Each structure stands twice: as C-alpha cells, then as structure tokens.
Amino acid sequence: MPFLLGSGPEYLIRFDDICPTMCWATWNEIERILIANDVRPILAVVPDNRDPELKREPPKSNFWDRVRDWQERGWTLPPTLIGTSAGAAVATACLSQRVPMALNGCIGLFDTNPRIFDWRGLARLKLSFAHQRVYPAWLSSFIDDAGFDGLRQSPSRLRVAFTRPARLLGLGGSLAAGTLAYMVDRYLANRLHPRLPRWLGLHYEFIDLQQCDDLAAAKNLLVSAAAAPPFLSAQRIDGRHAIDGGYADNAPIPEQTTMEKSSTLVLLTRHYPKLPTLFRFNGRHYWQPSQRVPVSTWDCTARATVRDAFSLGQQDALSSRAYFALS
C-alpha cells in the first residue's frame, strides 16, 4: 500500500518480556525517558512468566496497576482483540506469550498423526476425523490453568466470535447454507464480509474469553469458535449449538462507531489477489497475507506445511513494519 514518508526517519519501538519480576530499576529509568520525550512504545506483557532468566527481582505487587497506567498512555497492545476459528486460539497464545508452545504443539501433533480420516469408524457407522482429537489436544499444548489465570490478568481482552445456527434452518441446514455462502463468496462475489449467511438467519455472537468461569469453559469456547462439522463437531454454549464464526462472516466484527472503525485493524487469513496487502475498507484498516497461505485448511498430518505458513506471517510482519510505524 502506498504511503508518504516524512521529512525524517520514523521508528517503531517495542519492549518484550514486560513482567512482574523484571529489573524495575532499569525499567523505571526507561519509562522516565519515554514519558519525557512523549514516546509511545508497544509493550509485550508476559502475564504468566515461567522463564527463570526474567526473574530478576521479587514480583511487583502493583504490576497490573502499572500496566493499566501504560495502557491509558497508549503504550500497550490494543485493549480489545477479536478472533474466531483457529485465529481465536492463536490470539490466546499471543496474549499469554505462548506462541512458541502453540507452534511446536501443532507441529508435534501433526507429525504424529498419520491420517485425516479413520476409515475404521465406518464399521460403526461413525465419521471419525482426526480433528476431533487433534484440535483439543493442540489447545491443551499451550493453555493450562496457570496460563489461563495469567491471561485473565492481561489488560487486553479477547472476544471470541462463534456462529449461532438459523432457527428455521436448524444445525444441518445452517451448515449447508454457510458452506454455500462461503463458496459463493470465494468464487463469485469475493466479498470481504459475505451477506448471504445473515440473510439466511445465521448470526454471530461474542464472548469474552477472560470471563469464562474456568479453563474447561475457555477451551469449550475456543473449540466452538472453530467447530466445522463433520471435521470438528458443533459444541454447545448456554445450551445452544455453536459453530465456527466463519460460517457467518470471514471476519466477524461487532457494531462500531466511526471512531472505533478508524482504530481497527482486521487481519485476514485469505489472500485476495486484487487487493493490496494493506488497505482500507469501510473505515477500517485491513491486512491480508501477501500471497496464498501455503498450508491446507484441513490437513492435520505430517504433510501439512505449518512452518511455511508461520514463516510467511513473519515475513509479512517484517515487510509491513514501516506502514504501522507511520500510521
């Protein structure tokens, strides 16, 4: 996306590993300089630090008060993140500073999974897809009680989107309608936000992950947001069926004011060849992969090129730093 350079260099400053046990004498001096020069950095907070190298001092008792103060200054990550499908799980890993665990857990599970479908289940008249086992196991590889407790303390909230089936269509009809809408959107209309699912009665809802009562409820919410029968069965939230948020919209977004739209960045997982990597649409900023993501949607075996997909994300992030520094 074209943008104008200023008269001098522009910099994006980020501090990683901000945690209760870091060296506060050093940080206090850095903070003083940042405030004096009106510099607003990005701070990556570690809510559940387990790295002994970061345990330099006893935990700061008012750590989360300090984090909220930084957030009010505009220093931290966005106050609200919204995710659906596997994107909600990835956002969870990011907020809890467990991205390496999530990546390694995914690769490890895929490497030990020989097939997508277990044909032996047909003898019992049962469709048996590996996703039913692999996806919950992947969540467990990086989300545990300690991580969830730390996530609850994060100043950034994660709202997880999922789809409610249309009442008139039921679960089966809604799945068919959502799949049809996806195909129409992808091969004909090519819309960023398809309209057909909502015309047919499908709608999405949002739940704050940190408001879940416990770890089990949090995992159920994340599985629900990615549920795509028959690969991954529909779940129940508050006694009603819940399926992948993508059935209702490629990128579910709640109603927003003009001001809220202007400060929203939408991360897309599908590549739209006719659009630039970074663009604006309907008042929001959008960021799409620079090319088709090199990984299969449903392959969860050793053949899946997870590392290639992750590398593409890293390369796109590095190549787009200048844009975000100037925005």
Lowest mean pLDDT, pick from 127-131, 179-183, 292-296: 179-183
Please provide the DSSP assignment of 253-275 as one string: -----HHHHHT-EEEPSS--TTS
For residues 197 and 169, the answer to whether their CB atoms sit within 8 Å is no
For residues 147 and 48, the answer to whether their CB atoms sit within 8 Å is yes
The average confidence (pLDDT) of the chain is 86
∠ Cα 309 311 317 (to 5°): 110
Predicted local confidence at residue 123, as pLDDT: 61
Lowest mean pLDDT, pick from 40-49, 76-85, 229-238: 40-49
Higher pLDDT, 216 or 185: 216
Check whether 5 has a pLDDT greater than 70.
Answer: no
Higher pLDDT, 102 or 154: 102
Check whether 14 has a pLDDT greater than 90.
Answer: no
Q: Is 243 helix (H, G, I), strand (E, B) or coil?
A: strand
Q: For residues 21 and 53, what is the distance between their CA atoms, to the nearest angstrom?
A: 10
Q: For residues 327 and 324, what is the distance between their CA atoms, to the nearest angstrom?
A: 5
> Which of 56-70, 79-93, 114-128, 170-184 tops mean pLDDT?
79-93
* pTM, 2 dp: 0.80
Predicted local confidence at residue 116, as pLDDT: 92
For residues 264 and 327, the answer to whether their CB atoms sit within 8 Å is no
For residues 113 and 134, the answer to whether their CB atoms sit within 8 Å is yes
> What average pLDDT does range 89-98 have in this prediction?
90
Check whether 48 has a pLDDT greater than 70.
Answer: no
Check whether 187 has a pLDDT greater than 80.
Answer: no
> What average pLDDT does range 249-274 have in this prediction?
90
Q: Give which of 14, 210, 177 is closest to 185, Cα–Cα.
A: 177
Higher pLDDT, 41 or 105: 105
Structure tokens at 92: 């969870």
Check whether 121 has a pLDDT greater than 80.
Answer: no
Predicted local confidence at residue 183, as pLDDT: 78
pLDDT digits (tens, 9 = 90+) for 74-87: 787 778 899 999 99
Check whether 185 has a pLDDT greater than 60.
Answer: yes
Q: For residues 33 and 10, what is the distance between their CA atoms, to the nearest angstrom?
A: 18
